[in-house]
Amino acid sequence: MSLSEKISTSIRMNVAKRKLESRKIDHRNGNPLEQWGVAKIKNEIKSSKELKQLFNPDELSREDIKKYKLLKFRELMEYVMENSNYYKDVFEKEGIDPSQINTYEDLAKIPLTNPEDLAAHPYHFLCIPRKKIVREFTSSGTTGIRKMIAYSQDEILEIVDAIISALKMLEMDSKDDTLHIMYPTITATWDPGVILGKACMLAGVKSVINDSESVEEQINTMIETGSTHIIGLSSFVHKLSMEAKDIDGIKDIGIRKIICSSEPLTEEMRADIESVWGCKALRQWGMTELGLANAIECSEQNGFHVDNPDFLIEIVDPITRELLPPGQEGELVVTTLRRNCMPLIRYSTRDFTSIVDEPCQCGALLDQRITDIKRIPK
Ligand SMILES: [Zn+2]
């Protein structure tokens, strides 16, 4: 069975078992990505006696969500202390337990997990039996360190659910919309094009995967399929745009939004792309270790909306490792709050950004955002 068939089968099975939260989201009421995240948190509060005593699920504030995430963090600590050999050792050695984590400042008591740690002992991070893994892949990503990451079936579905919500935020939710996917095909490992294609299928949106490096072929495919949205590596989208700029009527082929992913996109590159196609170009950020679909800009282009229910984010000083307040730039540190296969606690991304802790003009009142991602100079 090919990778694509395996993913397709696992997704079909899961969809039969449970409904995707993202399918209930309506883009006419605020920001769909935020609505999806808040719905996930609300559902969890409603199903927990303990959480119901602490929060009113129908009146969640920014502070409530932060408090909720801290509780999830402590719950995750308990889980990894039971199930992960790596964290069991670290916590024992440092003499840390969940009762010591009561504020965000307390998080600094826990050492960061470095990409080198993950590369050196991948299976020490594993919390479930290996037979329950549906995808295992290696990644060198932006850090250049080769790491192994594994995902369970439920986690793949959660990632697809997050992607569908992001597609809705980009106004892709009708059968008249087509996403043109331009990632190079990666056959041996995790293929973002395949995952995106499946998310489109479940969202009821058409998708076309074209891995050709020929600009002419890419544009012909867009015209033939009636593509409305494009996603690809930032450098390739820019190259494509520069070569397409003299084509007559390029603005009229119907592209409504362009998503530039996996690589930094400067404001100059963004302006070039937008002037060619006559629509907005939006940045997306994700890491393979964290499931790729981690944060994306809305049309306001004022920070990346983070997948709020799934990640606890911190910004730390890259030298002193001290926690920095919103607005101040430092290293992005991420905890995967809902992963059960290989959860990561305080993962050092080696990316530089700051937290925007205020409502977005798009209507998202509770989402946390981060500013443009920069690589930490080596
Ligand atoms: Zn927004």
- pLDDT value at position 204? 86
Mean pLDDT over 85-96 rounds to 97
Tokens 């989201």 locate to: 25
Tokens 């509060």 locate to: 45
Length of the chain: 378
Q: In terms of pLDDT, which residue wins out, 192 or 287? A: 287
The model's confidence at residue 3, banded by pLDDT at 50, 70 and 90, is: low
Ligand 1 centroid – CA 371 distance (Å)? 12
Ligand 1 centroid – CA 161 distance (Å)? 19
Ligand 1 centroid – CA 265 distance (Å)? 18
Give yes or no for a contact between 181 and 193, defined as CB atoms under 8 angstroms apart.
yes
Ligand 1 centroid – CA 170 distance (Å)? 11
Ligand 1 centroid – CA 305 distance (Å)? 7
Q: pLDDT, tens digit, for every residue of 16-71?
A: 445 677 877 776 678 999 999 999 999 999 999 999 999 999 999 999 999 999 99
Q: pLDDT, tens digit, for every residue of 184-218?
A: 765 445 567 778 888 898 888 999 998 888 988 99
Q: pLDDT, tens digit, for every residue of 309-363?
A: 999 999 999 999 999 999 999 999 999 999 999 999 999 999 999 999 999 999 9
- pLDDT value at position 45? 95
Count the alpha carbons within 13 Å of 254 in the hemisphere toward its beta carbon.
14
Alpha carbon dihedral 200, 201, 205, 206, in 10-degree steps, equals 100
246 has which bridge partners? none
Give yes or no for a contact between 306 and 313, defined as CB atoms under 8 angstroms apart.
yes
pTM here is: 0.91
Residue type, 144: G
Per domain, the residue ranges of the chain are 30-375
Please identify every residue whose CB atom is under 5 Å from ligand 1, which is an ion: 298, 300, 360, 362, 364
The model's confidence at residue 108, banded by pLDDT at 50, 70 and 90, is: very high
- pLDDT value at position 18? 59
The model's confidence at residue 8, banded by pLDDT at 50, 70 and 90, is: low
CATH class in words for 30-375: alpha beta
- Buried-exposed string 99-125: b where 16+ CB fall within 10 A, e elsewhere: eebeebeebbebbbbebebbbeebebb
